[in-house]
């Protein structure tokens, strides 16, 4: 059966009740926990740092998926891994030496992901696709939660699926941005393996039930 993983994004959680929300996710059928790290430079917003990351690791029983939306991510990947990240994804657009950064992440015992912004072509991944454990396609412009899904993402999933098949890569396809009950099934059917869901989960009256429906 095809992989259908859900990674709720903590960016949409209640920061005043973070432990409560993490414990809710532990009870749920969510597979991963997605953490967006922003520096106010690569994207126009600032979010989590290392203290919050350590708190998340302390309470979470899920696989921790860290998305670095920062400049010079290679300076920080080791500390995020030592703080509990199981997978660290870096932006193609932020890495001058992407191959080196991907292998640094893997050498420290974590899975390595590469992220593409909506306007970055899938073809740019051709020389890194077999080194990456995951490719994250942004389906909104990164920096803020609650944005509208960019429909061109379906085309990019198809292109990425073809590239993975052609190169015999083992990379999973993750989609982040504007994922909801209406498009989750279509995204899985198009070839996505992992869906990041923020507002759809945390603004729901029953987040655990919503996660179950997103996976269905």
Among the listed residues 103, 41, 128, 107, the one whose alpha carbon sits nearest the alpha carbon of residue 115: 128
**Crossing angle for the helix pair 207-215 and 18-27, to the nearest 10 degrees:** 40
Alpha-helix runs per DSSP H in 28-76: 50-59
Could you identify the residue written with the tokens 């997605």? 34
* Apex 81 CA angle, 76 and 85, nearest 5: 115
56 within 8 A of 22, measured Cβ to Cβ: yes
Active site residues: 36, 176
Residue 142: both structure tokens together: 């990164």
Q: What is d(CA 59, CA 97) in angstroms, rounded to the nearest whole number? A: 34
């Amino acid at each position: 059966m095809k992989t259908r993983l859900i990674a709720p994004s903590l960016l949409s959680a209640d920061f005043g009740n973070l432990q409560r929300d993490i414990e809710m996710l532990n009870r749920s059928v969510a597979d991963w926990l997605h953490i967006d790290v922003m520096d106010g430079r690569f994207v126009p917003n600032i979010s989590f740092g290392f203290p919050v990351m350590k708190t998340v690791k302390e309470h979470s029983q899920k696989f921790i998926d860290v998305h670095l939306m920062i400049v010079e991510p290679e300076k920080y990947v080791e500390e995020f891994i030592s703080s509990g990240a199981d997978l660290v994804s870096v932006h193609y657009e932020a890495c001058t030496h992407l191959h080196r950064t991907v292998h640094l992440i893997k050498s420290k015992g974590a899975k390595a992901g590469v992220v593409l912004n909506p306007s970055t072509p899938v073809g740019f991944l051709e020389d890194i696709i077999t080194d990456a454990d995951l490719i994250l396609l942004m389906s909104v412009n990164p920096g803020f939660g609650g944005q509208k899904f960019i429909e061109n993402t379906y085309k990019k999933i198809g292109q990425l699926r073809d590239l993975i098949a052609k190169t015999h890569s083992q990379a999973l396809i993750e989609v982040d941005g504007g994922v909801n009950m209406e498009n989750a099934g279509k995204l899985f059917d198009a070839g996505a393996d992992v869906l990041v869901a923020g507002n759809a989960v945390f603004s729901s009256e029953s987040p655990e039930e919503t996660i179950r429906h997103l996976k269905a």
